[in-house]
Amino acid sequence: MNININLLQPLLVAVFVAGAASLLGVFAILKRMALVGDALSHVALPGIALALIFNFNLFLGAICFLIVATFGIWFLKYQSNLPIETIVGVFFAASLALGTLITPEQELLEALLGNITSLTWQESIISILSSLVLVIILLWIHKKLTINMISEEMASSIGINNKRLDFIYLMIFALAVALGIRFVGALLMGSLVIIPAASAKNITKSLYSFMGLSVVFGIVSSAFGIYISFIYNLSPGPIFILISSIFFVISLLIRRLR
């Protein structure tokens, strides 16, 4: 295999972003926030659209909108007794609609489905570093997150600040979405986070094998995804999702057989 530089750059970015997102997915599944990724990625779309229209960095556009949305979710969770899912559902679908309308038509497909090969070297390095930051933060708070998932009351009885923890978690989720959206696009971002972790959960019994295997699934799927899309000149995001879905089906079969 003749690895050329055009392949290496997106491959590296995809592996790092997918690895970080898959680790995040473990906690999204444990906290039963599987759909937050979907919702958040839709919010990023108007940000990307504005960045395209006014010609500034796409990552910056996405992250600004995501941070505002994340504050919104967090605020709703703690400050209002309205059913959060309804509000989130309506608000985020509206974002997707708005984003779709204002995104320039020739860029729409890329915004919705991602295109990692369009990243500059500078963006690639930022993506890789941000992925590393995400992994470090997750490893730093993973015990607290797990206790918080088991019981918020129990968590605060040992001095865990649940509100702050939730906030940190949502913020790194927003960061992951901003990173992944260039890879798999606004439509499929939620799956980048969830599918590898869902597959790993099917066949693991311990937390650390769950975390490890999820990252392995994410990395392997993304590497294959980039390679196959490169050979056949296809969009890498959907290929990644399909490959990780195949892993999911295999993991289901293994689970059944045991």
Q: Tell me the closest approach of the beta carbon of residue 144 to another protein, in angstroms.
A: 8
Contact 59, 44 (CB under 8 A): no
For another protein, the closer CB: 208 or 232? 208
For another protein, the closer CB: 58 or 141? 141
DSSP letters spanning 3-33: --HHHHHHHHHHHHHHHHHHHHHHHHHHTT-
Q: Tell me the closest approach of the beta carbon of residue 86 to another protein, in angstroms.
A: 18
Closest CA to 98 of 170, 157, 24, 46: 46
DSSP state of 103: S
Kindly list the distances between the CA atom of residue 146 and the CA atoms of 52, 108, 197, 230, in Å, as whole numbers in the listed order: 39, 38, 15, 38
For the chain, the first-to-last Cα distance in angstroms comes to 37
Q: Tell me the closest approach of the beta carbon of residue 65 to another protein, in angstroms.
A: 32
Q: Tell me the closest approach of the beta carbon of residue 92 to another protein, in angstroms.
A: 25
Q: Tell me the closest approach of the beta carbon of residue 120 to another protein, in angstroms.
A: 38
- What are the backbone angles phi and psi of residue 31, rounded to the nearest 5°? -85, 5
For another protein, the closer CB: 146 or 245? 146
Distance (Å, whole) CA 21 – CA 223: 14
Q: Enumerate binding residues for another protein (CB under 8 A).
A: 30, 81, 143, 146-147, 150-154, 156-158, 200-201, 204-210
Structure tokens at 214: 């999820």
For another protein, the closer CB: 65 or 210? 210
Q: Tell me the closest approach of the beta carbon of residue 198 to another protein, in angstroms.
A: 11
For another protein, the closer CB: 143 or 164? 143
For another protein, the closer CB: 50 or 141? 141
Determine if residue 204 is left, alpha or beta; phi over 0 gives left, psi from -120 to 50 gives alpha, anything else beta: beta
Q: Tell me the closest approach of the beta carbon of residue 196 to another protein, in angstroms.
A: 13
For another protein, the closer CB: 63 or 147? 147
Residue type for position 153: E
Those residues whose C-beta lies under 8 Å from the C-beta of residue 120, and which sit 6 or more positions away, are none
